[in-house]
Amino acid sequence: MKALVTGGGGFLGRVIVEQLLARGDAVTVLSRSRYPQVEALGASGMSVDLSADVPDLAEKLAGFDVVFHVAARAGVWGARDDFFSINVEGTRRILEAAKAAGVGRFVYTSSPSAVWGGSDEENLSESDCPYPTKYLAIYPESKAAAERLVLSAGGAGFATTALRPHLIWGPRDPHLVPRLLERGRSGRLKIVGAGKNRVGITYVDNAAHAHILAADALAPGSRNDGKAYFITDDTPVVLWDWINALFGELGVPQVTGRVPVGLARLAGGVLEWLWRTFSRPGEPPMTRFVAGQLSTHHYYDLTAARQDFGYTMKVDPKDGLARMVAYFKAQSDG
């Protein structure tokens, strides 16, 4: 298989590249900057900025069998145009170019937040989660808009699917775990609510494996053509127990302080107003989206992914945790 991976130098994208190369596929990484370390593994590199028009993009995509569109702007705060120019318009550009180039398959990395309205989601299936009418942050709104573009683009020999991996974690994580560790070490992390909310999380190798399984099964009219799927590890975790277990392994003080959910959400709303009104730099220390994510149940029924393209975990989360702890210990020692 000849595969193109956007964002192949990033956290999830690189593992997708590694797994594809390991089984003998030809892989090209498309990104704004070249990644010599990834290319040294055997991938080719292609420099393209998807936030701007690329007149010859379809020509560049000619000959590929599948596009894994992983690249995105993530975060809980920022300008609307910054998120939409990359997550929506960038997706539109590569989607249309792939279709014009005759690429047969398009696998999009979405997010469960695209269908999260701020309340508990306990063991829900894809059909139980319509797109909300209002979003608590720009990022999930942009991911939902892009997902809709992808899922409606099929036809004429072109098949598309979207995966929604939740809270990806593992070695080389530059987002979730470093953020938790920084806040934990500085004493700025507090349990929001009762601290018993269960959350589906996804070890990075399992998220990458799901993408490849979905691509292998994808074809016009296949069971996963035009559909979106939740992806997590098999069993949800109690979020704050998991965080404290990780902190214990890495010598970070346990999180014991608490803040009521209502107060956290109110503070998030006030801080968002202050940051928007006075154009303060960085992001607010709390937002309504973060308060909701830290306090609600959000884990999902994986039946559709298992039935439609055979999703299974590649790495047991216990092994994944040991690998991640070893990685971050080595980082701190270095």
Domain ranges of the chain: 2-169+200-234+299-315
Q: Which CATH architecture has domain 2-169+200-234+299-315?
A: 3-Layer(aba) Sandwich (3.40)
pLDDT tens-digit profile of 265-274? Answer: 999 999 999 9
Q: Which residues of 287-310 are buried (b: 16+ CB within 10 A; e: fewer)?
A: bbbbbbbbbbbbbbbbebbeebbe
Set 135, 139, 203, 300: catalytic member: 139
pLDDT for 54? 87
Rounded average pLDDT over 8-14: 96
Among 76-80, 200-204, 215-219, 303-307, which is the least confidently predicted range? 76-80
pTM score: 0.97
Instruction: List 259's β-bridge partners, or say none.
Output: 192
Residue 147's CB: how many other CB atoms inside 10 A? 25
Catalytic residue flag (residue 139): yes
Q: What is the pLDDT of residues 233-267, one digit of tens each?
A: 999 999 999 999 999 999 999 999 999 999 999 99
- Token pair, residue 10, equals 């990033």
